[in-house]
Amino acid sequence: MLDVQDLHITFSHEGEKIEAVKGIDLNVARGQVLGIVGESGSGKSVSSFAIMRLHDEKRTDIKGTIRFNGRNLLKLSAEEIRAYRGNKVSMIFQEPMTSLNPVFTCGEQVAEAIMLHRKVGRAEARQQTIALFNEVQLPRPEQIFDNYPHQISGGQKQRVMIAMALSCNPELLIADEPTTALDVTVQKTILQLLLRLKTERNMGMIFISHDLAVISEIADTVTVMLRGDVVEQGPAAQIFQNPQHPYTKGLLACRPAPSLRLKTLPVVADFLHADASQSVRHLQAENSYTEAEIQARRSTLYAQAPLLEVKELSTWYPVKKGLFGQSTEVVRAVDAVSFKVFPGETLGLVGESGCGKTTLGRSLLRLVEPSAGSILFKGSEMREKNRKELQDMRRNMQIIFQDPYSSLNPRISIGDSITEPLKVHGLHGSDRNRRDRAVELLEKVDLKAEHFNRYPHEFSGGQRQRVVIARALALQPEFIICDESVSALDVSVQAQVLNLLRQLQEEFRLTYIFISHDLAVVKHISDRMIVMNKGKIEEEGYPDDIYARPTAAYTQKLIDAIPGKKVL
């Protein structure tokens, strides 16, 4: 159905030519799923945009052929390609929040596509939209038709995008990273939904991801891309069971494997520079903790007094107020939670979006004011601190936020972002000393002194996350909360950041609470873990025990949803 031959894509930027795709071939048959995998910048999304002809034609030079049912899409006029786009070939974009228009209801946006291509009236388009919402298993489809994007969850927004992509019954569906920032349980549901719809409608599908584990759940054939080139392609079973290219081996290995306890995660560079004959399993086996090492660490950690002790902590949000302003209905985001964290420990906090884990992390630092309970840090009650005392305490307690781009000020250089907390707390005496300290921290997180004067937009996602880690370390804290700090990163960059966090913990004897919706990542990095659900602690214990013998049905659901267990 789709036959791409010798595709070259070159961008022009300020007089410079950038070759993003370098002569690749792709094929998709009806009813087949092609998985395209690679890191950010590999050219996978750019290739799919070329199939849809969504590129800026003034700045983009495309050579080669893209034949869809025998017609070369690159030769069609703007009017002709419009008849294909959305109608014959449709796309689900990576980020549903930015792909949906915030000023129109979800239903209006899907109905618009139906009215444009199918030439039906508004009432008929509404009926077809609600039928599509039912097909993609959205709850309360009539209500969601009238909801705005901000009123529904991330998983529901992604289903609206899928409904929009399917609205004109396309023959080819392109899904560009459709599950990247979703919970593992929502991700599993979306993958199952796409497979079901593909089978029922006999569609061809291109599924793009940076995560081979996710690709293994859905693809029939796989293409692996690196810096604009195809380095390996073939049937999915062959790619996963016997990868040939070192880059493919690296992508498979750097995702945390729940069945292993590795000291450091392999990164892609390990494979690109290693003996090509070495297997993924061989390199992992050489790098695993022994049972004796695990037990020795536990006996050292838990012989100490706790650094943080949380007792019956609750954080409630009012959602309805009565006549005189009193709360008549509340959301119990955190509901009577108690636990301890020990010096030098990593406590993992895992659960789906909305379970209360981020609110709990922010409540511990009093970025959100708790409603009840006690927070003892080094024996001192955090809830009794006034503003000045709290500022002094925060030298010892830091947070790394989920999105490094929104947590860095785009108007100031990253060097100034790191020296700012040093100025606030009056540390290191002079601007020169503070600059020296910032450069030292940048080098500690594998960045360079010359990066000091650059701005956040000049860095990749992984580099920005390193900047945020350097800023968190500036005040030499004992305790850091990592809030979904690797969830949006490529798997290879994620592995580098996880390794860095563990290395810094050993060097500075840091204590972490590591928050994530990804149980495989939490299991890799944590000494103990807590599973949260609806504001309460569902389960608590050692990661190996919870993974092997979960006591709660909710935990088992999270474990079952981890992608790629067959291949990792």
Q: Where are the domains of the chain?
A: 2-254
Q: Is the pLDDT of residue 273 over 80?
A: no
Q: Output the pLDDT for position 137.
A: 81
Top pLDDT among 211 and 71 is at 71
2-254 placed in CATH 3.90.980.10? no
Quick one: average pLDDT of 38-43?
Answer: 85
- Side chain identity, residue 540: E
DSSP H or E segment with residue 318: strand 308-321
Quick one: average pLDDT of 124-151?
Answer: 90
What is the rounded average pLDDT for all residues in the chain?
88
Q: Output the pLDDT for position 40.
A: 80
Quick one: average pLDDT of 148-157?
Answer: 82
CA-wise closest residue to 133 among 174, 164, 105: 164
Whether the CB-CB separation of 45 and 227 falls below 8 Å is answered with: no
Quick one: average pLDDT of 422-433?
Answer: 90
Report the percentage of the chain scoring pLDDT > 70: 94
Q: How confident is the model at residue 275 (pLDDT cuts 50, 70, 90)?
A: low
User: CA-to-CA distance for 544 and 10, rounded, in angstroms?
Assistant: 48
Tell me the pairing of strands 397-400 and 229-235.
unpaired
Q: Is the pLDDT of residue 446 over 90?
A: no
DSSP H or E segment with residue 233: strand 229-235
Q: Output the pLDDT for position 550.
A: 94
User: Using one digit for the tens of pLDDT, what is the confidence trace for 341-394?
Assistant: 999 999 999 988 778 898 999 999 999 999 999 999 999 999 999 988 998 888
Extract the tokens encoding 303.
């012989």
User: CA-to-CA distance for 346 and 299, rounded, in angstroms?
Assistant: 14
Q: How confident is the model at residue 283 (pLDDT cuts 50, 70, 90)?
A: low
Q: Output the pLDDT for position 567.
A: 64
Q: Output the pLDDT for position 33.
A: 96
Quick one: average pLDDT of 423-437?
Answer: 90
Q: Output the pLDDT for position 50.
A: 92
Q: Output the pLDDT for position 213.
A: 86
Quick one: average pLDDT of 224-245?
Answer: 92
Q: Is the pLDDT of residue 181 over 70?
A: no
Q: Is the pLDDT of residue 277 over 60?
A: no
CA-wise closest residue to 29 among 7, 2, 50, 5: 2
